Amino acid sequence: MYNLRRFILKHHFTLLFILLEVICVLLLARSQSYHRNRLVNTTNDVVGKIYGWGSDVGEYFRLVKVNRQLAGENAWLREQLAIANDTARVAYDIRHGDTIYKYIPAKVVNSSTNQTNNYIIIDKGSIDGISRDMAVVSSDGVVGVVTDVSRHYATVLGLLHSKSFVGVRFKNNQQLGSLRWNTNDYRYGMVEDIPTHVELKKGDTVLTSSYSLIFPEDLMVGTVEELHSSSTGTLNKARIAFSTDFATLRHVYIIKNLYKLELDSLKANFMKP
Amino acid sequence: MNKTALNIIRFVVLVLAQVLMVNHIRLGGYVHPYIYVIFIMLLPIHIQDWQLLLLGFLLGLCVDLFTSTPGLHAGATTLMAFCRPALLRLVNGNQKFENIHDPNLEQLGGVWFLRYTFSMVFVHHSALFLLESFSLSLIGQVLLRILISVPVSVFLIMMFLYIFKGERKGESR
Report the gap between the CA of A107 and the closest CA in chain B (Å). Answer: 16
- How confident is the model over A87-111, as pLDDT tens digits? 554 444 444 444 567 788 888 888 8
Mutate which of A28, A32, A44, A155 to disrupt the B interface (most B C-beta within 10 Å)?
A28
Contact A13 B131 (CB under 8 A): no
Contact A24 B75 (CB under 8 A): yes
Beta strands in A117-266 (DSSP E): 117-122, 135-137, 142-149, 154-161, 166-170, 176-180, 188-195, 205-208, 220-228, 235-242, 251-257
Helix, strand, coil percentages for chain B (3-state, nearest 5): 75, 0, 25
Report how far residue A260's alpha carbon sits from residue A244's, in angstroms, rounded to the nearest whole number: 25
* Residue B2 CB-density burial (10 A; 0-12 exposed, 13-18 middle, 19+ buried): exposed
pLDDT confidence of A32, banded at 50, 70, 90? Answer: low
Residue A103 host element (H or E): strand A101-111
Q: Of the spans A64-68, A166-170, A184-188, B150-154, which averages the highest pLDDT?
A: B150-154
- Which residue of A lies nearest to B66 if distances are taken between CA atoms? A47
Residues of chain A positioned with their CB less than 8 A from the CB of B132: 115-117
Segment-wise mean pLDDT, segments of 10 residues, chain B, 173 residues = 84 90 74 90 90 94 85 93 92 78 83 92 92 73 88 92 67 41
Residue type present at position A268: A
Homologous superfamily of A45-273: Rod shape-determining protein MreC, domain 1 (2.40.10.340)
Report the gap between the CA of A13 and the closest CA in chain B (Å). Answer: 6
Residues of chain B positioned with their CB less than 8 A from the CB of A246: none
Residue A268 host element (H or E): helix A260-271
Confidence at residue A1, expressed as pLDDT on a 0 to 100 scale: 75
B114 touches chain A (CB under 8 A): no
pLDDT confidence of A273, banded at 50, 70, 90? Answer: low
pLDDT at A260 over 80: no
Residue type present at position A172: N
- The answer to whether the beta carbons of residues A31 and B70 sit under 8 Å apart is yes
B33 touches chain A (CB under 8 A): no
Q: Provide the β-strand partners of residue A237.
A: A228
Residue type present at position A170: F
The residue ranking higher by pLDDT, A42 or A29, is: A29
The answer for A133, left when phi > 0, alpha when psi is -120 to 50, beta otherwise, is left
CATH architecture, domain B3-172: Orthogonal Bundle (1.10)
- The answer to whether the beta carbons of residues A112 and A118 sit under 8 Å apart is yes
A114 touches chain B (CB under 8 A): yes
Residue type present at position B72: L
User: Within 13 Å, how many C-alpha atoms sit on residue B163's CB side?
Assistant: 6
Report the gap between the CA of B48 and the closest CA in chain A (Å). Answer: 10
Q: What is the ipTM of this complex?
A: 0.84
DSSP A101: E
Name which of A157-166, A229-238, B112-121, B146-155 the model is least confident about: A229-238
A20 touches chain B (CB under 8 A): yes
Contact A119 B72 (CB under 8 A): no
**What is the average pLDDT value for chain A, to the nearest integer?**
79
Nearest to B29 among A12, A47, A184 (CB): A184
State the DSSP string of A126-161: GGGT--TT-EEE-SSSEEEEEEEE-SS-EEEEEEEE
Domain boundaries, given as residue ranges, for chain A: 45-273
B146 touches chain A (CB under 8 A): no
The residue ranking higher by pLDDT, A102 or A166, is: A166
How many A×B Cβ pairs under 8 Å? 100
Residues of chain B positioned with their CB less than 8 A from the CB of A44: 65
Instruction: Report phi then psi at A91, rounded to 5.
Output: -150, 150
Contact A31 B71 (CB under 8 A): yes
pTM across the whole model? 0.70
First to last CA, chain A: 51
Instruction: Report phi then psi at B155, rounded to 5.
Output: -60, -50
The torsion defined by the Cα of B119, B120, B121 and B125, in degrees rounded to 10, comes to 100
pLDDT at A271 over 80: no
